Amino acid sequence: MTQSAEHVLDHFELFRGPEYQQMLANKKKMFENPRDPAEVERIREWAKTPEYREKNFAREALTVNPAKACQPLGAVFVAVGFEKTLPFVHGSQGCVAYYRSHLSRHFKEPSSCVSSSMTEDAAVFGGLNNMIDGLANAYNMYKPSMIAVSTTCMAEVIGDDLNAFIKTSKEKGSVPAEFDVPFAHTPAFVGSHVTGYDNAMKGILEHFWDGKAGTAPKLERVPNEKINFIGGFDGYTVGNIKEVKHIFEAMGIEYTILGDNSNVFDTPTDGEFRMYDGGTTLEDAANAIHAKATISMQHFCTEKTLPFIKNHGQEVVSFNHPVGVTGTDAFVMALSRITGKEIPEQLALERGRLVDAIADSSAHIHGKKFAIYGDPDLCLGLAAFLLELGAEPTHVLATNGNKDWAEKVQAVFDSSPFGKNCQVYPGKDLWHMRSLLFTEPVDFLIGNTYGKYLERDTGTPLIRIGFPIFDRHHKHRYPVWGYQGGLNVLVTILDKIFDEIDRNTNVPAKSDYSFDIIR
Amino acid sequence: MSVTEKQSVAEIKARNKELIAEVLKVYPEKTAKRRAKHLNVHENGKSDCGVKSNIKSIPGVMTIRGCAYAGSKGVVWGPIKDMIHISHGPVGCGQYSWAARRNYYIGTTGIDTFVTMQFTSDFQEKDIVFGGDKKLAKIMDEIQELFPLNNGITVQSECPIGLIGDDIEAVSKVKSKEYDGKTIVPVRCEGFRGVSQSLGHHIANDAIRDWVFDKLPADAAPRFEPSAYDVAIIGDYNIGGDAWSSRILLEEMGLRVIAQWSGDGSLAELEATPKAKLNVLHCYRSMNYISRHMEEKYGIPWCEYNFFGPSKIAESLRKIASYFDDKIKEGAERVIAKYQPLMDAVIAKYRPRLEGKTVMLFVGGLRPRHVIGAYEDLGMEVVGTGYEFGHNDDYQRTAQHYVKDGTLIYDDVTGYEFEKFVEKVQPDLVGSGIKEKYVFQKMGVPFRQMHSWDYSGPYHGYDGFAIFARDMDMAINSPVWKMAKAPWKQAPKPLLQAAE
């Protein structure tokens, strides 16, 4: 017996004890009908080969370890960014349990959302009664200022009509007639969580700007000098929105963050549970129609929202998740151009500090090869930053990236001599990435938590940037946008590089001549 | 923090009843009437907890429940390690359930083992319109090519599959034939079926019956020489290694565990189970169906056991041994005696730090009752409990063997109710899941995830109890909770802001 009260062994160590090792070996030999170890080894080696890569890339139907989630997750993410807004998912309840878990596991925060709990009867007769009862219950229990409705694949397959259902629910008195219930159809079999973000954001703006589903006059745009900002689906929303506000304030720009969920995913532990915290006020959401321009930080999260806004008479500008000096330069210069405000010395200083840090450290990154996967915009931002550091973003992969995205990534490659041997992979998954890492190895991998399996299998060190990050804590509190965010990304990359150098040089009397204390 | 300490049972009952009346006030009348049936105060001597259960959740409330897919893929089938489980439908379900239950296993992932992978048919609009059967057939071919050492395939249906009328059974049969009788199991676990995970467990059990047991040739030679002491562990998902710290005890008492369901399980073990002399059942809710089936069809008795905390472990080891001869009975006593010093040391260390502390639980289908004994071993008291997806027989077992007079009972509790209950009862610890964790921690209430062991574990068995005791101590006595209120803000504030 290895366990003791004095020094309680966790599962990390407990099962390494001889009695457990013996037990597990016996289980395998006697009862599991195991494959011949030589055969396992042969297949393991085969799965590293170009031949396997070819078969793997010839896949047409199977998806293995995709780097994307489904639409409704993005819709829930948007909804909680508005003041006292309760996300309401029309469909079966299990989905909502998953969205709430997924967001809580990443942010280490509560995630509040209700569903209309549709079951077999709703599948046959439609979910209207679920909507009528559900809105009434949610309204009475959680006293929201707004309920933002989205759908699951179930409600979409049976063809429930949200506009009509919400109207009927209001007629039945579920919520007052003037109560705000914006909606978006977000089928899980179209696009991904970034599509859901787009649809939900558009749905909310459409509600406020275009007459609240026929219950109010459409708003007349009276242009003002404000700027709207849309962050897109962003695992760093807590740190990033704060950084973006800092930039706006430094420039003296009046702004509205649309879907500002930076507080609801960052509430304090002080004896209170804040189900709603912060968020764009409903008044601001409505008044956003009058803004001079809307800036989207993630183009592929706002492909429908931006044309909608543009049609209401505003200038729209979009970026692809800019990271680093050039990306942030473009962002602040766009702000300056649109508003006529000068870029203050303070931001120039911050910029200079990031350039200083890059100058001090880029020698360690220069020429290194990276593989990146994640959401389309994030991949673009990171690839551009790596090129700026003199690194090669050798494989750039987005399961939810399309042909347009691939062209944009190629353009980024083409903008730098370091992009010469780089490849872009739209629509591929992490099992494709596994083949790439074996057949065309790189020095480092950048991506979310699921990359740890790739790190284990291929030995490529993983730098965790993306969503979700489940197995490291509090990364979302640190911005990756703005000059300060660029510094954070730089340090994250450098830390891994130095850790790897130390790991590779720490064998006494063998490799430790390079085990340096000064770098 | 325990405000319950100095109250009499009668006072506690009165308070709990008042509390129930209070939470019901927030609902519209129809909803209040329905929810009232799920809330109660336990009365000593009653045969169940006096609540309705396994009924559809109310739309628009924050239920903690999941769906049938979660019950089948996430719980029953997912941990079977040498099979590939296709999440058939859109991408989300597989993504959110990817490795989330920490079903530990030994194997070469991606080569002969596949638990921590996400295989999906990633349905697109055209698959909804034209149906997904052809795609499913192609997926199986691609699996055979890229993962040749898989021992079988299951198809875990997501919502659209049933709605668009795909014939996954036909595809499975055709492909199984094509691959020389390969085990391919279609599972109709669409998320809209039933009221919670629970139906998914049942459907998954039935799929094992129909597509594994019933396909076995009657004259198949066993892969091993049967013995008089062969048992199968049923309903342990090996979260954090639970089934391993359980298995070792059964083997130490002289039994031979020929199969584990389903944590660290394999197809061969499923197939071997009808050869067991006794099925020992931990999670009654999720696997009583297949245990009953094996009793009826193969004459294998089954016995429930509880491996949380030394009292229940000892009771269970003796109960299991009672099905066997003196050799095993002596073995059980030997095992109990062997671990007694460890248990004494664990309790001596942690009980003084936990004595008198109160706990409120809300978990899935077995832990709302099974862990009560472990808390009591540490001198703690469970003052409120309820099931996410329990049935009436779970509440019977709870009433007859576990809860004390006056315990607050809440079936399929809503987020609102749970927050109100905790605010008023002020327990020293709440044990529930990830969706509840941060809500209560924000309130300054210590919390442990009692689905996933908060990424710790194992909690089963004697080795697991040491970890359990350590974890409860670290949760309750962590210095952080003293810091939750700023020293310059001493006046107590309401715990719940949102619903005021």
Reduced to 3 states, what is the DSSP secondary structure of residue B231?
strand
Distance in angstroms (rounded) separating the CA atoms of residues B356 and B382: 10
Asked whether residue B62 carries a pLDDT value surpassing 80, the answer given is yes
pLDDT tens-digit map of B69-103: 999 999 999 999 999 999 999 999 999 999 999 99
Across B323-332, average pLDDT: 98
Contacts (Cβ under 8 Å, ≥6 apart) of A392: A367, A368, A369, A370, A386, A418, A419, A421, A422
For residue A306, give the nearest of A205, A378, A225 by alpha carbon.
A205
Distance in angstroms (rounded) separating the CA atoms of residues A14 and B298: 37
Q: Assess contact for A71 and A193: CB atoms under 8 A.
A: yes
Phi and psi dihedrals of A92, rounded to 5?
-80, 150
Chain A residues with CB-CB distance to B201 below 8 A: none
Q: Which of residues 271-310 of A touch B (CB under 8 A)?
A: 271-276
Distance in angstroms (rounded) separating the CA atoms of residues A160 and B496: 35
Write the single-letter amino acid at B500.
Answer: E
Asked whether residue B218 carries a pLDDT value surpassing 90, the answer given is no
Contacts (Cβ under 8 Å, ≥6 apart) of A415: A384, A387
Query: pLDDT class for B428, splitting at 50, 70, 90?
Result: very high
- Would the CB atoms of A114 and B62 count as touching at under 8 Å? yes
Chain B residues with CB-CB distance to A22 below 8 A: none
Across B188-192, average pLDDT: 98
Asked whether residue B141 carries a pLDDT value surpassing 50, the answer given is yes
For residue A275, give the nearest of A463, A126, A145, A423 by alpha carbon.
A145
Chain B residues with CB-CB distance to A195 below 8 A: none
What per-residue confidence (pLDDT) applies to B494?
Answer: 54
The ipTM of this complex is 0.97
How far, in Å, are B82, B105, B214 from residue B114 at the CA level?
6, 10, 25
pLDDT tens-digit map of A106-141: 999 999 999 999 999 999 999 999 999 999 999 999
Q: Assess contact for A87 and A79: CB atoms under 8 A.
A: yes
Tokens at B71, concatenated = 């019950």
B311 touches chain A (CB under 8 A): no
Tokens at A263, concatenated = 């507080």
Q: Any idea what DSSP says for residue B72? A: I
Asked whether residue B178 carries a pLDDT value surpassing 90, the answer given is yes
Strand order in the sheet with B408-410: B39-41, B408-410, B381-385, B358-361, B429-432, B447-449
Q: Any idea what DSSP says for residue B91? A: S
Q: Which of residues 160-199 of B touch A (CB under 8 A)?
A: 160, 162-164, 191-195, 197
B263 touches chain A (CB under 8 A): no
Distance in angstroms (rounded) separating the CA atoms of residues A55 and B358: 58
**Closest Cβ–Cβ partner in A6, A114, A143 for B61:** A114
Q: Assess contact for A225 and A170: CB atoms under 8 A.
A: no
Tokens at A11, concatenated = 């599962």
What per-residue confidence (pLDDT) applies to B496?
Answer: 55
Across B26-38, average pLDDT: 96
- Would the CB atoms of B244 and A15 count as touching at under 8 Å? yes
What per-residue confidence (pLDDT) applies to A473?
Answer: 97
pLDDT tens-digit map of B234-279: 999 999 999 999 999 999 999 999 999 999 999 999 999 999 999 9
A31 touches chain B (CB under 8 A): yes
Alpha helices in B74-158 (DSSP H): 92-96, 125-130, 133-146
- Would the CB atoms of B109 and A453 count as touching at under 8 Å? yes
Q: Assess contact for B84 and B147: CB atoms under 8 A.
A: yes
Chain B residues with CB-CB distance to A10 below 8 A: 456, 467
Q: Which of B42, B201, B247, B460 is catalytic?
A: B201
Across A151-178, average pLDDT: 97
Give the distance, in angstroms, between the CA of residue B431 and the centroid of all CA atoms in the same chain: 13
Partners of residue B429 on adjacent β-strands: B359
Q: Which of residues 315-374 of A touch B (CB under 8 A)?
A: none
Q: H or E element: which one contains A97?
A: helix A93-107
Return the half-sphere exposure (C-beta side, CA atoms, 13 A cut-off) of residue B83. 30
pLDDT tens-digit map of A90-103: 999 999 999 999 99
Distance in angstroms (rounded) separating the CA atoms of residues B374 and B192: 35
**Closest Cβ–Cβ partner in A32, A158, A272 for B493:** A272
Q: Any idea what DSSP says for residue A299? A: G
Q: Assess contact for A74 and A198: CB atoms under 8 A.
A: yes
A126 class by beta-carbon count within 10 Å (0-12 exposed, 13-18 middle, 19+ buried): middle
**Closest Cβ–Cβ partner in A10, A100, A138 for B60:** A138
Across B342-349, average pLDDT: 98
End-to-end alpha carbon distance in chain B: 23
Q: H or E element: which one contains A31?
A: helix A18-31
Total-model pTM: 0.97
Distance in angstroms (rounded) separating the CA atoms of residues B90 and B50: 40
Q: Assess contact for A394 and A401: CB atoms under 8 A.
A: no
- Would the CB atoms of A33 and B268 count as touching at under 8 Å? yes
Tokens at A237, concatenated = 């929303």
A101 touches chain B (CB under 8 A): yes
Chain A, nearest residue to B242 by Cα: A11
- Would the CB atoms of A93 and B497 count as touching at under 8 Å? no
Give the distance, in angstroms, between the CA of residue B47 and the centroid of all CA atoms in the same chain: 23
- Would the CB atoms of A122 and B192 count as touching at under 8 Å? yes
**Closest Cβ–Cβ partner in A27, A30, A69 for B92:** A69
Across A38-49, average pLDDT: 98
Partners of residue B88 on adjacent β-strands: B157
Q: Any idea what DSSP says for residue A215? A: T
B259 class by beta-carbon count within 10 Å (0-12 exposed, 13-18 middle, 19+ buried): buried
Distance in angstroms (rounded) separating the CA atoms of residues B190 and B200: 8
Q: Which of residues 278-307 of B touch A (CB under 8 A)?
A: none
Q: Give the pairing of strands B83-88 and B152-157.
A: parallel
A103 touches chain B (CB under 8 A): no
What per-residue confidence (pLDDT) applies to B7?
Answer: 84
Q: Assess contact for B198 and B211: CB atoms under 8 A.
A: no
Reduced to 3 states, what is the DSSP secondary structure of residue B44?
coil
Looking at the complex, report in whole angstroms how far the Cα of residue B148 sits from the nearest Cα belonging to chain A: 8
Tell me whether residue B303 is one of the annotated catalytic residues: no
Across B49-61, average pLDDT: 97
- Would the CB atoms of B96 and A134 count as touching at under 8 Å? no
- For tokens 């990817």, the residue is B98
For B167-179, b/e burial (b = at least 16 CB within 10 A) is: ebeebbeebbeeb
Share of chain B above pLDDT 70, in %: 97
B148 touches chain A (CB under 8 A): yes
Q: Assess contact for B242 and B366: CB atoms under 8 A.
A: no
Angle (nearest 5°) at CA B147 between B145 and A95: 110
Pick the residue of A84, A92, A189 with the most B CBs within 10 A to test the interface with B by mutation.
Answer: A189
For residue A122, give the nearest of B195, B298, B350, B388 by alpha carbon.
B195
Q: Assess contact for B163 and B133: CB atoms under 8 A.
A: no
Asked whether residue B500 carries a pLDDT value surpassing 90, the answer given is no
Mean pLDDT of all residues in chain A?
Answer: 97
Distance in angstroms (rounded) separating the CA atoms of residues B99 and B89: 18
Across A211-220, average pLDDT: 95
Distance in angstroms (rounded) separating the CA atoms of residues B292 and B394: 16
Q: H or E element: which one contains A50?
A: helix A50-57
Tokens at A389, concatenated = 């550091």
Distance in angstroms (rounded) separating the CA atoms of residues B259 and B270: 7
Chain A residues with CB-CB distance to B92 below 8 A: 69-73, 95, 98, 153, 188
- Would the CB atoms of B191 and A95 count as touching at under 8 Å? yes
A322 class by beta-carbon count within 10 Å (0-12 exposed, 13-18 middle, 19+ buried): buried
**DSSP state string for B390-427:** --HHHHHHHHHHTPPTT-EEETT-BHHHHHHHHHHH--
pLDDT tens-digit map of A329-361: 999 999 999 999 999 999 999 999 999 999 999
What per-residue confidence (pLDDT) applies to B4?
Answer: 45
**Closest Cβ–Cβ partner in A11, A95, A116 for B60:** A116
B231 touches chain A (CB under 8 A): no
Distance in angstroms (rounded) separating the CA atoms of residues B472 and B456: 11
For residue B120, give the nearest of B100, B101, B139, B142 by alpha carbon.
B139
Distance in angstroms (rounded) separating the CA atoms of residues A251 and A378: 25
Catalytic annotation, residues of A: 153, 157
Alpha helices in B228-366 (DSSP H): 242-252, 267-272, 284-298, 310-321, 326-354
Q: Give the pairing of strands B408-410 and B39-41.
A: antiparallel
Across A394-416, average pLDDT: 98
Share of chain B above pLDDT 90, in %: 95
N residues, chain B: 500
Reduced to 3 states, what is the DSSP secondary structure of residue A391?
coil
How far, in Å, are B358, B388, B480 from residue B426 at the CA level?
8, 21, 17
Write the single-letter amino acid at A323.
Answer: V
**Closest Cβ–Cβ partner in B95, B116, B149 for A43:** B149
**Closest Cβ–Cβ partner in B339, B435, B441 for A97:** B435
Pick the residue of B161, B413, B435 with the most A CBs within 10 A to test the interface with A by mutation.
Answer: B435
For B93-108, b/e burial (b = at least 16 CB within 10 A) is: bbbbbbebbbbbbbbb
Quick one: CA torsion of B395, B399, B405, B409, rounded to 10 degrees? -10
B338 class by beta-carbon count within 10 Å (0-12 exposed, 13-18 middle, 19+ buried): middle
Asked whether residue B499 carries a pLDDT value surpassing 50, the answer given is no
N residues, chain A: 519
pLDDT tens-digit map of B156-165: 999 999 999 9
